[in-house]
Structure 1
Amino acid sequence: MKKYLFSTLVVALSACATSPDKVKAQYMPDTAYASLTCPQLAEAELKQGDEVSGLYNSQRRAHKTDTWTVLAVGVPLSGMLDEDKQEQLARAKGKLDAIHRVQHARVCPGISAPA
């Protein structure tokens, strides 16, 4: 019986929303940003950074909610409530990476060396 409960808990936890720190950026081509000037890239970076931040926070809340609801009732709720933002966060991180690549290629002022 204990083995069954443990297996059920493991399966339920694996269905939970992914922690936002573990969401990898989806590759996005640089072409969407290649025609922008450095000031335009800086503006795009700010907007995209705000989007990443908002999605990060949403994903963090979904992850926490799933962790607690699995422990309380055995079911992750974020998928049912459409709160899991993993795919949107991966795309947003990818767009931000593309903006940074173009900024580095153009040697825009105020940009640090790539990691």
Structure 2
Amino acid sequence: MKTTALCAMALLAAGCARQPDQIAATPVATDRYLQMSCAELLASRTGRQTAQVRLEQAQHEAAEHDKAAMSVIHVPVASMTGQDREDEVARGKGELVAVDATIQSKGCG
């Protein structure tokens, strides 16, 4: 019985939202950025950085909610209610890497 409870808790914990700094960037091809001018790339990066900050704040809140819920009711509520934005955070990080790589390859300031 004790082993079953521990296994169930481990499975639930595995479903918890992760902190943004624990999420790796999803690889994104730079192809669609190659045709952009430096001004467009820099504007794109600024917009993406702003969006990424918002996404990471939401992800941090989801991770904190899951952490609190797990300590009280042993259920990752934020993850179960669709508040986990891990995929979006990873994609956003990947987009920023792709934009930055293109900016660097084009020698934009």
Structure 2 residue aligned with 1:10: 10
Alpha-carbon distance in 2 for matches of 1:6, 1:65: 21
AA in 1 matched with 2:77: L
Deviation for aligned residue 1:8: 3.6
Unaligned runs of 5+ in 1: 110-115
Instruction: Give matches, 1:1-115, under 5 Å.
Output: 3-109=3-109
Measured against aligned partners, the alpha-carbon deviations of 1:1-35 in whole angstroms (never above 9, x if no partner) come to: 66555444333222101111111111111011111
Alpha-carbon distance in 2 for matches of 1:54, 1:9: 30
AA in 2 matched with 1:80: M
Unaligned runs of 5+ in 2: none
Q: Percent identity?
A: 23
* Paired residues, number: 109
Structure 2 residue aligned with 1:113: none
Q: TM-score, normalised by structure 1?
A: 0.86
Q: TM-score, normalised by structure 2?
A: 0.91
